[in-house]
Structure 1
Amino acid sequence: MRRVSKLVAAVGTAAALALSATACGSTSTESSSSSSESSGKGKGIALAYDVGGRGDQSFNDAAYAGFEKARKDFGIGGEDVEPSDGESDADKVQRLTDLARQGYNPVIGVGFAYAPAIKEAAEKFPKTTFGLIDDETVKGDNIANLVFSEEQGSYLAGVAAAKATKSKVVGFVGGVEVPLIKKFEAGFVQGVKDTDPSVEVKTQYLTQPPDMGGFSKPDLGKEAARGQLDADADVLYHAAGLAGQGVIEAVAAKDKWVIGVDSDQYKQKTLDKYKDSILTSMTKDVSGAVYNLVKSVHEGEPKTGVVRFDLKSDGVGLSDSNPAFAKMTEIQDAVKKAREGIVNGDIKVDTTP
C-alpha cells in the first residue's frame, strides 16, 4: 500500500517507536502529549486507515481532520496508522489489538473492511470504545457504528448532474463494487432520473471484491473516466477514494464537470489545479463523526450502537464552494427542493440500484 510519508516526515522517527512491528502497518502520528494520560482518559485517540491511507483528499483525510481537531480541542494524544498492501483481517486485528493494549481510547477503524477486526478486538478490550465507520453489521456493547446515508447526498449529486449536463450523458465511477458504493450509485442514478428521465447514466466499477485496488489506484480512475468522456459523458461523479483523483484529472483535461466525494474536493490543496472542473462534492461528515465519538469518550459517556449521519442532520450534503456552482441558480433551486423533499419524507431514496 502506498505510504504517505511525505505528509508526515516530520514525525516519522517518533512514530516508528509507537507501534510494534506486529501491527502490520505503518504509523503516521505519535502521541507525544502527556496531558491525556494524566487526565485519566487514556492515551487519546487511535485511527486505523482504510485502503489508500492518508493523502486521498477524500475519505481518509476527512477522518484525519476529525482526529486532529479532537487532539487539539481536548489536549489528548493520538496515533494514526496506515494499512499494508494485501493485508489480512488477522493483520487488522493485530493492529487494533496493539493500539488498544497501549491504552488508546477510542480506537477507530476507518472503513467497512475493519468490521471483522473490530468485532474481535472489541471482545478482547471491553473497556475500550471502538469506532467503526461505514458498517453497522458488527454490533457490541463497546462498538459505535458510525454510518451515513450516502444515497441521500448522492441523490442531490444526481440532481445537480442532470441539470448541468449538456450532452444528456453523465457517468458514475465506483471504486469497488461493494454494497456501500452501490448506495452512492443508487442515489445518484435516482436523482438523475427523477430530475430528467432522458439523461443517460453510464456506470463503471474499477475492481471487484476481494480486490480493493479500485480505492487506491488513480490510473484506474483515469482510464475509466476517459472511457466515459469518450462516450459523451460531460458530468462524472466518483466514489472511488484515492482512485477518484484520476477521475478528476481526466475530467479536468477535457474541461468537463466532475462531482467529488466525501470531502469538499474543491477545497483540497492537492487538487487545486483541477478545482475549476469540480462542480460540487457529495460530502460526508466523517470528520464530525470521528470528533464526536472522541468527545463522548473524553466526557465519560461513550457513544455506542448505530450513530447515523443523514441529510436532516447535515451528516451528508452537497458543497457549493465552487463560485461557478454557487451562481447556477437553476441547479441550486433544484437541489434545495430535492433536499427538502428527502428531509420531509416526500422523496424516498433507494439504497440499491
Structure 2
Amino acid sequence: MQPRLEVSKINVSYGDKAIVQELSFSLAEGRIGCLLGPSGCGKTTVLRAIAGFERLSSGRISVNGCRLSDDKQHLPPEQRQIGMVFQDFALFPNMTVSGNIGFGLKGWRREEQQQRISQMLDMIGMSDLAKAYPHQLSGGQQQRVALVRAMAPQPSMLLLDEPFSSLDIELREQLAREVRDILRQENATAILVTHDQHEAFAMADEICVMDKGRIQQQDSAYNLYHKPANRFVAGFVGEGVLIPGKVESYDRVNTELGPIQGLVPTGCKPGCKVDVLIRPDDIVHDDTAGETAIVTDLAFRGSEFLYSLRMPSGIKVLCLAPSHHQHGIGETIGIRLEFNHLVVFPREHKTGNRSMA
C-alpha cells in the first residue's frame, strides 16, 4: 500500500548552513507520526517543508503519490490540502468558536458547513461553547478548537507544531492523549513535532528521533526506550547511565552489577570493552540483596522515588523504587539487577560511567 506521506532524501539549507540532511521517512494512512528531538535539530524545518513554507535544496516530498516538492517544483502551501496547528493556536480573536471552526469551510454549502461544525463541536465536547470567543476559553479548550479547525476541511494530513508548549506541564500528556483519540475518530494522518518525549509517547504510533538534521532512529516508543540504535537515542529518550563491561560471549557481558544476559552486537567480540546502558527500572531496591549502594540524591515523583546511587567502586546508577520505600541521602540500600534488554555500545571512555538522565 502506498504511504500517505513520503519524504525521500530531503535537504534544506539556509545559505551555506545545512539544516536538514538526507532525511527520509514515510507515514501510512491513519497513523500518527512524531519528529522528536532537541531544539535546533531541524524538526520544525522538516514540518515547514512538508507544509510548503520551506523549499528543498534536494530530495522529494509526496502525499498520496503526488509530488509536492523537489529541487525543481514547489507547490504553494494553500494547494497542498494539509492542515496545520501552530504553537500559539492562532485562533481568530474576533470570531466565535463556530466561526473559527468554519473558517476553512467557505467553499462548502451552508448546510454542510453547519453540519461539519456541529460534528467537530460534539467531538471535542464543546457544543455549549459554540458562541464563545477565544479569550473566554481555557488554554486546553483553545487547543482543541485549533485542532478541529484544522481538521474540519478534511485535509490529506495534519501537521502539529509543538501544539502543547504553551500549556501547563500537568496538562500536556493528558491533552496529547485526547488529541490522539480525536485524530483516530477521524482516521486522520498526522505528524507531531515536539522536544517532549512524554508527549510523543502519549500520542504517536511511530517516532523519528532527530539530531543535527538527521533521523537517528524511527521506531515505536517501546523500542526507542529499550532498544536505542545509538548513544544519542539512548541518552535523549528516557533516563539511564552507561556502566563499563566486558564481553564474555555472544550473549553475556560482565559488569560490576554482575553478568548480564542478552544478545551482544556482532561487532563486539569476546574480550571487547563496552558500555552497558542501565535504565532506572533495571535496578530494583531489595533490602535482602547482597549488593548495596549509597543514596547520593533523590527525586520524589508521587508513586515513585528516583534514587541516584553510588556503588562501592564509585560507579553511579539510577533506581526507581515505590515511594513507600523512603531513604535519605547517605543511606545504604540493597539493590539487585532485573534486566530484560541488553543495550551495549563499544567503549568510548576507558574509565568511569556517564549519566544519561
Tell which has more relative contact order, 1 or 2 (C-alpha 8 A, sep 6+): 1
TM over 0.5: no
| Structure with a larger share of its residues in strand | 2
TM-score normalized by the length of structure 1:
0.24
| Structure with a larger share of its residues in helix | 1
